[in-house]
Structure 1
């Protein structure tokens, strides 16, 4: 919590990121002292920017509670704009996957609690370490920031055996990632990251080309066992 004076100072400070004050970075290293000093000053300038504290209004933060038995974060206040691309409904409540919660906490969009204690990013990773691997999370977060590909839809069966309800949709039959034929082919890291997000639900890629839709799926296999049994 900040004092009134600190809040006023935060409101009046410059919001835009300053331009490089030492010029553009050289294309190739030349080993000169002048170039090394220029790089040092640029790095120091970037670290100063990264160290600056970001101030968020308490009322604008979405609150959530970590539920380890369900392996999810239950939101106790209405979700923000991130609900368009993140989150799901579980038993009529808005929830987040563990990796989504860590990402939003890093972005300053949520407050997370566990046993009535407010969690920092490191605290959250520590209490959720059984739910995901840090390397997997970093891969997922990087692909999400780049917005290379995202899961677009959860697909549910429409037959009589389905128990789907809007208030309690249950487990999807499959998840779908929609891409245009003109988009760049997703990298292996992106495909793995999407598969990690989908967990034990099959993932399908829908490729749209001038109104025609083709569906593809990827399967993990081990060479040569799965190819030449």
Structure 2
């Protein structure tokens, strides 16, 4: 899996117009496991709090706040499809995969179908993915392009801070969506390092030259890739400067 992810990244660099197919969600593809983690849905935070953790997947999934793990809706659905996670509602009832899918079209949770399909494809290839601007832990000294400073996090209540961050992320606003890291068995949320690239999930058309240049200036030198999802087809591309030869 790790090697496949590395080869995929090499292709990204060699071919800036790489296209990969990704099928739509289907309950027939659900997997089942003997050991299943459980999470409790928090309507206020619009996230799941992990109440029973099983498996090594949590090393690269979910954010840590006050010793607890919280997961975003795209992480929840990805794990639920693989039979690795059960999400409980306020009545301790396990939500079906259909109920989970319905949470995305609600327009909340700072996630769209395009975001989820891009996340699912890269995650299935072995990449480590986190939402852009939201640090993995509060112990992380400096988050790449974080929306708030370290000093600010010390003065804001944990639950309010997470909720505020999610509400700031408008899914229709064109901006980096995910921080993407290469597969790494030694990955630590407290010191994740620099992403191999930032992914911006687009809604309709490719960005203008001005928008691309603005992204590049704000990325701190981290490569930026764009993604368009059209009828289940997930396409990744990036822009490179090309110099035409000077004619005599």
Larger Rg: 1
TM-score (norm 1): 0.47
TM-score (norm 2): 0.44
